[in-house]
Amino acid sequence: MIDPRLLREQPALITQSMANRQMAPDLVEGLIAVDANWRQKSAELDALKNQRNTLTPKGKPSPAEQALLKQLSQTIKTQQDAVSALEATRYDLMMQLPNLPHSSVPIGASEADNVVIKTVGTPPAFDFTPQSHDVIATARGLIDFEAGARITGSRFAVYTGPGAKLERALISMMLDHHTDRGYTEYLPPAIVHRNSLEGTGQLPKFEDDLFALSHTDYFLSPTAEVQLTNLYRHQIIPSDQLPLNMVAYTPCFRKEAGSYGRDMAGIIRQHQFNKVELVKMVHPEQAADELQRLLQDAESILQALELPYRVVQLCTGDLGFSAAITYDIEVWFPSQNKYREISSVSHFGDFQARRSMIRCKNVMTDDVCYVHTLNGSGLAVGRTLAAILENFQTSDGAVKLPAVLSRFFKQSASGVWF
């Protein structure tokens, strides 16, 4: 949620920011009008209450005074109902308004206008046509796509034997790597409440992409960003405890609404997938530096796995709903001859903190402000596995694993092979 004062003090800034996001001005214009009306009606209500207090006699009121007070009380009730209705409308509109892009974000209409910041590593050169990860995984008995469809349906898979072990090894490797870099590990529930999803911004806008549990306010979590951020919901954190660095592995669940027909083969776009998520709570003055540290921490997994990748800054038209700044980390997929997203690292400013009421208190001055939240995947596990299979494949269909994973597997003198 953005600072409501900006609506009143800098409406042109809000309107331009939404235009940069490729949004029509209707929502902003409607919100500004409702906010102004709500403030006017609230002021009128306060005046009516003051009038009633002034007219209320100290002793027993006369019949005329009783009649006047009764009429005034009825007017106050009507006015209170109007104010409450406007307040509810105002809140609903505020919850629909996305975050303001940071001034450093390039202005653009779509992903075509995103900016490549850097490219790390060299894509492998093959003297054969590289196979896709799903073909390799099926041939090597690592993933059973037919079993996933038989058990549940499309966009589900069963990891088997060494494939299951590789997925587990990647989760362990990522968690160990990040905890060694100062993150505290959590294992939260996979089911989250509606309030938690509203706090991080998945609701109300993205309800169609979530798996809801019937007749409850519970949902299957789409990302551990939700759980980790809401650990501090309605909390005030002493400023000397910041930054807070958190990491969690969780299964994640998404309907992938709007993506039908895309990435149907393989494990790039599944309804259920594993992810290691990084979340930071920081003081506003720490945010810029901590965003760069977070980006480096996510990148370091790909560096350890010797996978080629690039970092892309998203333009205004491609930013997520809650983000003020986002860097996508994209890993190379030889079979597609392109880079594909494997992590999004974002700075949310105080947007999520306002929605979740997460604040920090200066231990010296007692000043209180909203924290800034940051998060990023560290990494999406299935996509990492897929990238390993493709980048380390050989002409005979075998796969040699990166050396950093050798501690999880028995190996020959020439390394670990699948």
Q: Is 254 a catalytic residue?
A: yes
Q: Is 356 a catalytic residue?
A: no
Q: How far apart are CA 276 and CA 174, in angstroms?
A: 7
* Secondary element (H or E) of residue 384: helix 381-391
Q: How long, in residues, is the chain?
A: 418
Find out whether 303 and 321 touch, Cβ atoms under 8 Å.
no
Q: How far apart are CA 166 and CA 133, in angstroms?
A: 14
β 372-380/272-282 pair status: antiparallel
Structure tokens at 115: 């900016």
Q: Is 344 a catalytic residue?
A: yes
Please spell the DSSP secondary structure of 309-346, one letter per residue: EEEEEPPGGG--TT-SEEEEEEEEETTTTEEEEEEEEE
Q: How far apart are CA 371 and CA 229, in angstroms?
A: 11
Residue 266, SS3 per DSSP: coil
* Secondary element (H or E) of residue 148: helix 145-151
Q: How far apart are CA 161 and CA 143, in angstroms?
A: 8
β 338-347/325-333 pair status: antiparallel
205 Cβ contact list (under 8 Å, min separation 6)? 96, 321
Q: From the centroid of its chain, how far is CA 205?
A: 13
Strands (E), 29-183: 115-120, 143-144, 158-159
Tokens 């790039």, residue?
268
22 Cβ contact list (under 8 Å, min separation 6)? 109, 110, 316, 317
Query: Is the Cα torsion angle 277, 278, 283, 284 positive or negative in sign?
Result: negative
Question: Which of 21, 90, 140, 254 is flagged as catalytic?
Answer: 254
Question: Which of 343, 344, 346, 377 is flagged as catalytic?
Answer: 344
Angstrom CA distances, 280 to 195, 288, 290, stand at 20, 12, 8
Q: Is 341 a catalytic residue?
A: yes
Question: Which of 39, 233, 269, 340 is flagged as catalytic?
Answer: 269
Find out whether 68 and 177 touch, Cβ atoms under 8 Å.
no
Q: Is 155 a catalytic residue?
A: no
Q: Which of 377, 316, 326 is nearest to 349 (CA)?
A: 326
Tell me the catalytic residues.
254, 269, 341, 344, 383
